[in-house]
C-alpha cells in the first residue's frame, strides 16, 4: 500500500502544485485503500506526510508553498494498516532538474541500494551504516548524522537505530524476521543540519540541497526483502 501510493504520488510532483495538495492526495488515497497515514500526531507532528524542498532535509510540513521548476522535492510517508507500520521516502525534481540535483538523487538512491544489500542475517547494523556512508562520500557528498533509520513493525520506530555513518562490524547482529526502515539522507555540502522555528523542518547548515530515499526491508531467509516495492526491486 505504501509503495502504491508513493508511486502514484510521483506524477503529482510538478511546478505549481502546493505541497498541501500532495498531502491531501495521500490521505485520500490511503483511505480508499483501507489504510491511514501514520505521521499525523506522531510526537506532535502536525501533518500526514513530510514534504522537504531543496535545502530542507526532512520533516518539512506541507502547506501553501507552490513548487517551482527544478525544485528538489523529498517526500516521506508512513502507512498504518491492521496493526503494522510501513515507512518509505523518495526524492524527485519538480519539472526539469539540473545536473547536481540529478546526481545527488542518484547517489542517495545508490546509497540506499548499498545499505539494503548488506541487510542480511549475521551482518551487523553498522554494516548498513558504513555502506551508506561510503557510497555517499565516494561521490563527494555527505550523510546527515542527526537522523537515523530504525526498526519498524507494530510501532513506527523500534530498535535498532540505523545511523547512516559508522565503521562496519558493530552494533546489533541482524536476524531473520527483523524489519528495518533504511533511509539515507545525503547532503550536497556539509553534513550538519539545523531545525527551523516551526520545531520540525530540518535544513542543511550551509543551505545546499539534500535528498532522501527510504524503504522498509524484511530480513527473510537470511536475505533482504524490500517490502515497500511494487515489483520486489529497490
pLDDT in tens, 190-219: 999 999 999 999 999 999 999 999 999 999
Whether pLDDT at 232 is above 70: no
Sign of the four-CA dihedral 134, 135, 137, 139? positive
Instruction: Please give the pLDDT value at position 207.
Output: 98
pTM above 0.85, yes or no: yes
Within a domain: 217: yes
Instruction: Please give the share of the chain, as a percent, with pLDDT higher than 70.
Output: 99
What angle is formed at CA 217 by the lines to CA 35 and CA 51, rounded to 5 degrees? 55
Nearest to 49 by CA among 73, 72, 20: 20
**Domain assignment of residue 233, yes or no:** no
Residue 75 has pLDDT above 90, yes or no: yes
Q: Is residue 85 part of a domain?
A: yes
- The verdict on residue 99 lying in a domain is yes
Domain membership flag for residue 201: yes
77-94 average pLDDT score:
98
Name the 3-class secondary structure at 200: coil
pLDDT digits (tens, 9 = 90+) for 125-143: 999 999 999 999 999 999 9
Structural domain includes residue 231: no
pLDDT bracket for residue 164 (50, 70, 90): very high
Does any domain span residue 127? yes
Entry field: residues in the chain: 234
Domain hosting 9: range is 2-226
pLDDT (mean) for 162-189: 97
The CATH code of the domain that includes 25 is 3.90.230.10
Q: Does position 18 have pLDDT exceeding 80, yes or no?
A: yes
Q: How many domains is the chain partitioned into structurally?
A: 1
Q: What pLDDT, on the 0 to 100 scale, is given for residue 231?
A: 80
Nearest in space to 161 (alpha carbons), one of 146, 151, 174, 176: 151
Give yes or no for residue 107 having a pLDDT over 80: yes
What pLDDT was estimated at residue 169? 96
Q: Is residue 29 part of a domain?
A: yes
- Residue 106's pLDDT is 98
Q: Residue 72 in 3-state DSSP?
A: strand
- Whether 234 shows a pLDDT value over 80: the answer reads no
> How far is Cα 186 from Cα 108, in angstroms, rounded to an integer?
6
- State the cell numbers at 12: 503529482
Residues 6+ apart with CB under 8 A from 10: 90, 92
pLDDT confidence of residue 191: 98
Mean pLDDT value of segment 67-73: 98
- Interval 31-43 mean pLDDT: 96
Amino acid at each position: 500500500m505504501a509503495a502504491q501510493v508513493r508511486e502514484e504520488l510521483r506524477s503529482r510532483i510538478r511546478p505549481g502544485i502546493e505541497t498541501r495538495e500532495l498531502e491531501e492526495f495521500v490521505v485520500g488515497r490511503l483511505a480508499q485503500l483501507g489504510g491511514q497515514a501514520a505521521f499525523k500526531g506522531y510526537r506532535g507532528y502536525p501533518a500526514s506526510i513530510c514534504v522537504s524542498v531543496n535545502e530542507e532535509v526532512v520533516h518539512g510540513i506541507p502547506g501553501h508553498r507552490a513548487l517551482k521548476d527544478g525544485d528538489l522535492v523529498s517526500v516521506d510517508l508512513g502507512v498504518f494498516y491492521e496493526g503494522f507500520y510501513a515507512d518509505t521516502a523518495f526524492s524527485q525534481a519538480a519539472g526539469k532538474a539540473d545536473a547536481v540535483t540529478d546526481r545527488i538523487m542518484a547517489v542517495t538512491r545508490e546509497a540506499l541500494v548499498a545499505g539494503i544489500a548488506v541487510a542480511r542475517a549475521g551482518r551487523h547494523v553498522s554494516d548498513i551504516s558504513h555502506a551508506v556512508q561510503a557510497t555517499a562520500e565516494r561521490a563527494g557528498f555527505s550523510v546527515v548524522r542527526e537522523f537515523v533509520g530504525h526498526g519498524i513493525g507494530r510501532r513506527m520506530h523500534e530498535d535498532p537505530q540505523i545511523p547512516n555513518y559508522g565503521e562496519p562490524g558493530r552494533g546489533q547482529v541482524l536476524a531473520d524476521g527483523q524489519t528495518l526502515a533504511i533511509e539515507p539522507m545525503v547532503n550536497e555540502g556539509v553534513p550538519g543540519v539545523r531545525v527551523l522555528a516551526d520545531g520540525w523542518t530540518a535544513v542543511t547548515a550551509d543551505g545546499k540541497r539534500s535528498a532522501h530515499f527510504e524503504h522498509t526491508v524484511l530480513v527473510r531467509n537470511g536475505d533482504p526483502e524490500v517490502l515497500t516495492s511494487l515489483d520486489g526491486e529497490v
